[in-house]
Amino acid sequence: MKRIRRMVSSITVLGLLLTSAACGGPQEPGTSGGSGEKKAVEVWVRDNVAKLLETPVKQFNDSHPNIQVKMTSVPAASFSEQFATAVASKNLPDVVSIDLVLAPYFASVGAFKDITASYGQLAYKDQLNANMVNMGKYNGKQYALPLSADVSALIYNKDHFKDAGLDPEKPPVTWKELREYAKKLTTNDRFGFVYSASVPGTLMFTFLPFLWGNGGSITSDDGKQVLIDKPESVEALKFMSDLTNEDKAVPAGSPTYGGQQAYDAFTSGKASMIVYGNFKVSDLNLNFPKINYGVALIPKNEGKQHSSFAGGDLVALTATTKQEKEAWEFVNYLLSKDVQVEFFAKNGTIPVRSDFFDNTYFQKEPRFKVFTEALKVAKTPYSTKHNEILRVWTSTQDALQGKKSAEEVFKNQSVEIKKLVDSK
C-alpha cells in the first residue's frame, strides 16, 4: 500500500511533465444487477480514446442485451493519478484502458487480473503486436492486451526535397543521409529538420527510435539492466546534438519545443522534416492540403535496424471485477474488426492486429502503410519505474542544447536510473 501511495504522489508530477491539460474525476464504479438484470461493466478510458469508442460501446450494448457497458471518459492528463488512487482505495472499474508505458507498474502492484489462460486461447493472439503484448506482461504472466497504437515515423516535405535537388521519392534511410539531407534542406528561411524535446514524453517519442536504431537503449528489454551509458546510446545522443549544434540544421530552440511548436514549424514550411505520429496524417490532409508530404521509417545508423516508438493504450480487466466473463467479452469486441478497422483505422489510429493492416481506409491513404511497417519494428521502454525514469530522462536536453556532452549526460543518468532499477 505504501508503494501505491508513493505512486499516487509521483504520478501527479508525471502528469505535469507529460501535459498541462485540466483534470477531471471519473464516476465511481457501479455494481451489477441481480439475477435477470443486465450485468453492468464499468470501463475507464482516456479521453482521447473514449472519443473513438462512444459509438462502438453503444453498438456493443445494443447487441448484448444482458450486458450494459458504462464508459467513463477521463482526461488523459489525470488518468494515471486517478487510477492509482482507485487502486489504493480498491474502488476500481471492471475494465481499464491505460497508457501502455504505465501498465508494467500497475500489473506489479496487483491492479489487474491475470488473463494468461484467456489470452492463450485467443485465435488471433499471434496477430497482436508483440511489443505491446510484452508491455502487458509481468513476471511471465499476461495482465493486459493491446488496444490502440500510435507510432512515430519521419514526415517530410517533398517540395522542399525537389527545391534542394533531392529525390522526393527517396527519403533518408541512414543517419548519414539524414544529416546530408538536413544540411541541403537548410536555407536562410528554413531548417532541414525539427523535433520537440521540452516534454519528456515527446522527447522519448522522437528520440528513442534513434537510440534503438543504433542498438542502444535506456534499459534492457526486461527493464532490469541499465544500458543508457553504453557507446551505442551515447553515439545516438551525440548524433542528435551535432545535428542541432554543429550543423545548425535544426532550430536552436528545438530542444525546448513542445510537440505543437515543432509541428507548426513543419506545417508553416519553416522545417522540412519532422518525426511525428500517425495521428497527424488526417490533420495534414484536412488542414494543410497544399503540403506535398511523404512518410518514411525513421533513419537508422549504417548496419543497424530501423525502429520506432510505439505509444497507445492497453486494455485490462481489473483485479476486483466481479463481471469477468462479461468484461472479457467486451475486451474481445474491442479487438474485433468492427472496432479496430471501422473506428480506429477509419480515424487514423493504427490497428493493433496485423491482419487488419490491409484495410479499406489505409488503401485510400497509402501513407498509413508506412506507419504499419513502423509498428512492426517499434519498441516501448519497459519498466515498473517508468515515471521516475522519465524525470531523470529530462536531462537529455542538456546535451541537445549543447550545455553538456552526450557522454556526461548519459553517464549521470545511468547512475540515477540504476538506483531506481535496483530499488524495491
CB proximity list for 241: less than 8 A, separation 6 or greater:
399, 400, 402, 406
Give the mean model confidence (pLDDT) for residues 189-206. 93
CB proximity list for 393: less than 8 A, separation 6 or greater:
200, 203, 204, 218, 413
Domains of the chain and CATH, by start: 2-150+312-379 (3.40.190.10), 151-309+385-422 (3.40.190.10)
Handedness of CA 388, 389, 392, 397 (dihedral sign): negative
Q: Give the rounded percent of residues in the chain with a pLDDT score beyond 70.
A: 91
Q: What is the mean pLDDT of the chain?
A: 92
Instruction: Give which of 153, 148, 205, 151 is closest to 352, Cα–Cα.
Output: 148
pLDDT band per the 50, 70, 90 thresholds, residue 27 = very low
Q: Among 33-42, 79-88, 369-378, which is the least confidently predicted range?
A: 33-42
CB proximity list for 123: less than 8 A, separation 6 or greater:
none
Does residue 23 carry a pLDDT above 70? no
Instruction: Give which of 309, 325, 281 is closest to 135, Cα–Cα.
Output: 309
Cell, residue 374 = 513502423
Q: Which one-letter amino acid corresponds to residue 46?
A: R
Does residue 1 carry a pLDDT above 80? no
Please tell me the pTM assigned to this model: 0.90
Q: On the CB side of 281, how many CA atoms lie within 13 Å of its CA? A: 27
Cβ–Cβ under 8 Å, residues 355 and 349: no
Does residue 6 carry a pLDDT above 70? no
Write the pLDDT tens digit of every residue in 235-287: 999 999 999 999 999 999 999 999 999 999 999 999 999 999 999 999 999 99
Does residue 94 carry a pLDDT above 80? yes
What percent of the chain is helix, strand and coil (3-state, nearest 5)? 50, 15, 35
Answer with the residue of higher pLDDT: 182 or 7: 182
Cβ–Cβ under 8 Å, residues 314 and 145: yes
Write the pLDDT tens digit of every residue in 267-278: 999 999 999 999
Answer with the residue of higher pLDDT: 101 or 24: 101
Task: Give CA–CA dist 88/92, Å, rounded.
Answer: 9
Give the mean model confidence (pLDDT) for residues 341-351. 96
Task: Give CA–CA dist 186/179, Å, rounded.
Answer: 11
Neighbours of 153 (CB within 10 A): 27
Task: Give CA–CA dist 250/279, Å, rounded.
Answer: 23
- The DSSP line for 236-289 is HHHHHHIIIIIS--S-TTGGG--HHHHHHHHHTTSBSEEEEEGGGHHHHHHH-T
- At 33 the pLDDT is 40
Cβ–Cβ under 8 Å, residues 111 and 318: yes
Give the mean model confidence (pLDDT) for residues 359-376. 97
- At 25 the pLDDT is 34
Does residue 38 carry a pLDDT above 60? yes
